[in-house]
A and B are shown apart, each in its own frame.
Chain A
Amino acid sequence: MLTINSLSKCLGEFSLTDISLSVGDEEYFIVLGPTGAGKTILLETIAGIYSPDSGRIFLDGRDITDVPAWERNIGMVYQDYMLFPHLTVEANIGFGLKSRRADPAFIREKVQESADLLNIGHLLHRYPGTLSGGEQQRAAIARALVMEPEALLLDEPLSALDVKTRENLRAELARIHEATGTTIIHITHNFEEVFDLADRVAIMRGGEVVQVGTPEEIFRRPDSDFVAGFVGMENLFRGEGSPDGTVAVGDLRIRVGRGISGPVSVAIRPEEILLSKENLPEIGKNVFAGQVGSVRQNGGLVRVSVDTGIPFRVTLTRQGFEEVDIAPGDAIYLAFRPSAAHVYPSGSPEGI
């Protein structure tokens, strides 16, 4: 169990402000956020590269805030691998065990084991410069794992790889986590990694953690305009909430999952909205009449804008699109369940 209490660190242009997090044993925890959010410093502070200006870090109840990096046994893997170029893959993976003055035969055995786990057992005698990006990242992960770290920190481990390699290694990470049970904190700005890997997610912005939850919670129930915008909530409206469970947005009254008074934001994922040419009112559903604006094909998906007095964006599958058979200018009905309309109090007026 890794616990971070009110951690702050200022490093010139990057900083962390009052971060509190708790990551459970064997948990796969992802930190998601835009560039400059302070994600890397957070990992480096956990690893002990930087000491915090204030706040404490606990590992299994032990305060490790003042323990130097070399005594923490927390593994670190960077986006750009950072394999030591003057050492073979074998010496790279065995580097940490050598620091511990382990027996050479033991090191060889452990290195082989770790390399096999990452499927790079045949590359041990090569130098990093001769490996592909994916192979280098596997070696970097093996180098960290061979130490059997208390926690493994991955700083955008897949970002420098091409699409195919990234998908393979993503599946590998899931398998390795399953096999070793290592607690992992993984930084990314890629949503697919979140859905494939994360038990829980923290969203960071400007050095602060703004929301923590399961991927489902973060994506369906963002609790700020920033998170809603960041996770792609394209239908995000400001309105006035009433205790009866409706929100007035312009001329529309949107039925939402819960009664909440005062100024609120309503967020509806574009793929949760249905389109129909006929008005088929269902009890309890939100149904609004509107007019089709633009229709844009995007891979297997079709994105439609609908003007109902307020602008909605709707994502359909190609099949769904062909079934409703619409063109720009058509009159249309748009429907979604109240539970699909996530509502939270409007906080600061800052950007979406």
Chain B
Amino acid sequence: MRLDLQARAAPSRTIAIAGPILALLAAMLIGAAVVALLGKSPAEAFMAYFVAPLSESWSLQALAVKASPLILIAVGLSFCFRANLWNIGAEGQFTVGGLAGGWLALATRDGAYQGTFGGWWILPAMLVLGAMGGVLYALIPAILRVTLGVSEILSSLMLVYIAGYGLDYLVRGPWRDPQGFNFPVTANFDPEATLPSLIADGRLHAGILLTVVAVLLAGLVLSRGMFGFEVRLFGTAPKAARFAGFSERALTLAVFAISGGLAGLAGIAEVSGQIGQLQPSISPGYGFTAIIVAFLGRLSPFGIVLAGLVLALTYIGGEGAQVSMKLPLDLTGAFQGVLLMCVLAADVFTRYRVRLVREA
């Protein structure tokens, strides 16, 4: 027996939309089987993972706060993936963004450098620095690729580890809060360096607005602009793109800069709006989960918003299920991996007719 793939004349639009939904359902079924294997009730787990977080105001806010960085990073990654370039180091660019913006927050603490102008400029400058940090860090693998042909996959991933150790060093060493009882954290950021809450006493911070703007801009660029066309052309027909006179180097640098910049922005928004200081770990793997978000959202900005909410749900639901059902947190990671596999499998059905053939 073998699988027979027949190319469709044009990708199926029905399956393109139904695919991710069916993939999600398939992943849920597999997840339910694993939960049953662990000796727990799949129905109860489903409620804990996918329903309970939607039932209360605080958990809805937590959902938005978790989804925001995922969506922001995934929107950037969609540019790379559309062009068939593989930035898998968004986690590192997120970290460097948090570091670059966090540095300014620490440097301006207690009114430093605020004499003449006041403190209004600090937050915008932190966001710019965060994005710049992500851009520069993402340009390392991009430049290595266009000048020397170094695989961007491996170099961008190695840089994740290096950024992680850099953050660890800074918060345990030079940037540690002298009044912090030896905890490996920096001082808390001043209010001038903290993204404000959108709701009084709520968790929902202004970083969400950045994500909304980024999604709208990306939607505009990808559907209307020449640049969006160029990105897609390089992904699907690189020879045609070169023949049309588009520069592969410029495009590689551009999509890496975009994805790095958005990841860096997500990093500083998380540090400034959510954590309020720098600590040895500032991300539960957002940079990697965002890869799943990008694919589940079929690399389209609005699909990514939905996908980001789904993946954020698995984070919040996973924490809830750990408390209420004693389900291990690793279940979330395994589920995310299965989900990506199902999405990729579903993607095949949009491009091919798949039949199981019995060999004669």
Q: Do A and B belong to a common assembly?
A: no
